[in-house]
Amino acid sequence: MSYAYLFKYIIIGDTGVGKSCLLLQFTDKRFQPVHDLTIGVEFGARMITIDGKQIKLQIWDTAGQEAFRSITRSYYRGAAGALLVYDITRRDTFNHLTTWLEDARQHSNSNMVIMLIGNKSDLESRREVKKEEGEAFAREHGLVFMETSAKTAANVEEAFINTAREIYEKIQEGVFDINNEANGIKLGPQHLPSNANTPSGGASASQGGSCC
C-alpha cells in the first residue's frame, strides 16, 4: 500500500507506564496485559488517513529503564512526533516528566510534536495524578495532553492521530522541511512521480506493505 507521508514517532517515559501496550493497542487493536518487557527498541507501524491522505506512522517503542537523559541524540533526531507517557497511578512517573522533556527538547529537532499522555485512565480507583495536573503540565510546556487507556483503547487512536494531524499541519504551513529526512518525515511513493503507478516486481510492490 502506498502512502503520501511517513512519520516517525517515538514513545518515551518511565518503565512500566504502558508504552508497549499503547503501541500494541494502536497497531493491533488489542491489549495484552502481560506484554513482554521491551529489550532495546521495538517497532510498530500503521497506516492512517488524514484529510484523505494516507500516512504511514512508524513508531519506535523504547525500553524505559534507567534511560533518563540517555536516549541518544540520533534517536530523537529522526522523529517527527513523540508520545511522552506517564502512569496516572504512579506519581513518580509524573514527577520524572521534566527530565524526559528536557532530554527530548535538547536532542530533538525543534519542531518535533510532543504529546503528553497520562495512561491507565481505566484505573480510576488507583489514581495518584489528577487530570488537572497533567493538563497544567502540558499547558506550561506547550504540549498536547490526553489521558488514555491502552486497556480499554480509550483515546489511543486519538493520541496517535492528533499528533499526526499536528505534524501534517506543520508540513502544510511549511514549518517542517520535508526533504530532510532527519526530521522524521519521509515523502511516500504517492509523491514520487516516477513510481506513482505500476508497481513492478516484488521489491517495489511491497514497499508499503509491511505495515500491520
Partner 1 sequence: MYPLFSQRKWGDPVRVKASFSSHSKRVDGHVVPEYRRFSLDPQLTNFETLYSLISRAFDIKSDFLMQYRFEDPSGQEIFLQLLSDWDLEAAFERAADPCLCLRIDPIPLEHVEEWDLVNTPSSDCKIIHPKEGRSDCSIQTKIMTKVGKTINLMQQALNLNGSSGEFALGATTSPLTDTEFTDFRDGVGTLIKVDECKQRIFQGGLEPSLRRVVWKHLLNVYPDGLNGSERMNYMCRKSEEYQRLKSEWMLYYRNKKMSEELQHVTSMVRKDVLRTDRQHPFYSGGDDNANVEKLFNILTTYAIMHPTTGYCQGMSDMASPILFVMDNEAHSYIAFTALMERLKENFSITGTTMTLKFDHLCCAIAYHDPVFFAYLQRHNAIDLLFCYRWLLLEMKREFAFDEALRMLEVTWSSLPKSPREDELALFERMPDLAPTASAPIPLPTRIKESPYTKVCSLRRQSSSPASSFSFNSSDGPISLHSALKNSRDSQSACSPSWDRGNIELDDVFIPANDKVNSTQFEPLVVPHDLKSIDYTEPRRDLAQPNGRTQFVLNEANNGQQCPLMATGDDSVSSALSSLMNAKDPEEKRGDVSNEGLSCSLEDSALEDFEVVGSCEEAIEAAAATTMITPSNTTHPNYVRRGVRPSLPSPDVLGCGNPFLIFLCLTVLLQHRDSIINRSLDSNEMAMHFDRLVRKHNLERVLSQARTLYYRYLAHFNSQNS
3 state DSSP class of 115: strand
* Total interface residues for partner 1 by CB under 8 A: 47
Distance of alpha carbon 83 from alpha carbon 165, whole angstroms: 14
Q: Using the 8-state DSSP alphabet, how is residue 51 labeled?
A: T
- 32-47 exposure pattern, b = at least 16 Cβ within 10 A, e = fewer: eeeeeebeeebebbbe
CB nearer partner 1, residue 16 or residue 191: 16
- Choose which of 49, 152, 195, 206 interacts with partner 1 (CB under 8 A): 206
State the residue for C-alpha cell 504512579. Answer: 90
**Within 59-118, which residues bind partner 1 (CB under 8 A)?**
60, 63, 65-75, 77-78, 92, 95-96, 99
- Provide, rounded to whole angstroms, the least separation between the CB of residue 6 and partner 1: 7
3 state DSSP class of 21: helix
- Provide, rounded to whole angstroms, the least separation between the CB of residue 189 and partner 1: 12
- Provide, rounded to whole angstroms, the least separation between the CB of residue 143 and partner 1: 19
36 binds partner 1 per the rule CB under 8 A: yes
Measured in whole angstroms, the distance separating CA 151 from the mean position of its chain's CA atoms is 17
CB nearer partner 1, residue 77 or residue 127: 77
Q: Mark residues 169-198: x for contact with partner 1 by CB under 8 A, - for none.
A: -----------xxx---x------------
- Provide, rounded to whole angstroms, the least separation between the CB of residue 165 and partner 1: 22
- Provide, rounded to whole angstroms, the least separation between the CB of residue 16 and partner 1: 4
- Choose which of 142, 174, 193, 202 interacts with partner 1 (CB under 8 A): 202
Question: What is each CA distance from 26 to 9, 20, 86, 142, 155, in whole angstroms?
Answer: 13, 10, 17, 24, 10
- Choose which of 29, 37, 126, 130 interacts with partner 1 (CB under 8 A): 37
Count of C-beta atoms within a 10 Å radius of residue 174: 8
CA 144, 62, 159 angle in degrees (round to 5)? Answer: 25
Question: What is each CA distance from 40 to 71, 138, 172, in whole angstroms?
Answer: 11, 28, 34
CB nearer partner 1, residue 76 or residue 146: 76
Q: Which residues lie near partner 1 (CB under 8 A)?
A: 6, 8, 15-16, 34-45, 58, 60, 63, 65-75, 77-78, 92, 95-96, 99, 180-182, 186, 202-204, 206-207, 209-210
